[in-house]
Amino acid sequence: MAFVLAAPARAADPSDPEWPCIQRKVEHLSPAAMWPHPFGEEVAPLSPDLEELAARLALRRVSEEEARALVAEAAADHPDLGLPGYGHLFQATFDHIDRQRARILSGITRYARNQTRLSSELDSLRAEMAWLEAAENPDFDRMDEVEARIDWHVRVFNDRARALTYVCESPILLEQRAYVIAQMLLKAAG
């Protein structure tokens, strides 16, 4: 009986051995890495419509073209927003994105733990199968059950391992989105 298992990915960050992705795990990003101007501490709170805009700009389902249109509409509705106001809008958008990203990072860690657990279960099932095969009077019914469970676990493990690349790209896509939105808002600020 031959089994093919994708090897679990090795963490790029030795300080977090549960992290399965190639890129280093960074819990939270800094908005200052994407916004080249000071945010200013004496900026008035965003109006409700701009708070809503920040939440919408952070949504992954809002395309880049839709985001540009939303920013253009906000620029027309708020001609006096200025660079500090756009910085405040970016900060609010960034906060939404960073919270989404943190949830995804947590999910990736759970995903990796589940893969480790599944791998351990496979090891146990294989050990049981070896014991059953070595028995003087093999229990063929139990062997069939164990073999079916092994086949299922291998399938699930391999499907998850293949999906890991996509899962690990999600935080990167959010980082890129934050940068693109920063650029849109900088352009709107003039």
| CA distance to 47, 72, 74, 85, 190, per residue, from 66 (Å) | 21, 10, 12, 21, 20
Whether residue 95 lies inside any domain: the answer is yes
Whether residue 84 lies inside any domain: the answer is yes
Q: Give the residue numbers spanning the domain of 96.
A: 45-189
Place of tokens 């031959």: 2
Whether residue 17 lies inside any domain: the answer is no
Residue 13 has φ and ψ, to the nearest 5°, of -110, 100
Q: Which two tokens stand for residue 69?
A: 């249109």
Q: Which two tokens stand for residue 171?
A: 């935080």
**Residue 38 pLDDT:** 85
**SS3 readout for 40-72:** CCCCCCCCHHHHHHHHHHHCCCCCHHHHHHHHH
**Residue 43 pLDDT:** 63
Whether residue 6 lies inside any domain: the answer is no
Question: How many CA atoms lie within 13 Å of 52's alpha carbon, on the beta-carbon side?
Answer: 6
Per-residue pLDDT of the chain (190 residues; tens, 9 = 90+): 433 344 444 445 567 788 999 889 998 899 999 999 887 776 678 899 999 999 999 999 999 999 999 999 999 999 988 888 999 999 999 999 999 999 999 999 999 999 999 999 999 999 999 999 999 998 999 999 999 999 999 999 999 888 888 889 999 999 999 999 999 999 998 8
DSSP code for 10 = P
Whether residue 32 lies inside any domain: the answer is no
**Residue 16 pLDDT:** 79
Domain count, the chain: 1
Whether residue 93 lies inside any domain: the answer is yes
Whether residue 35 lies inside any domain: the answer is no
| Cβ partners under 8 Å of residue 63, min gap 6 | none
Q: Which two tokens stand for residue 156?
A: 């699930």
**Residue 144 pLDDT:** 94
Whether residue 31 lies inside any domain: the answer is no
Burial of 168 (0-12, 13-18, 19+ CB in 10 A): buried
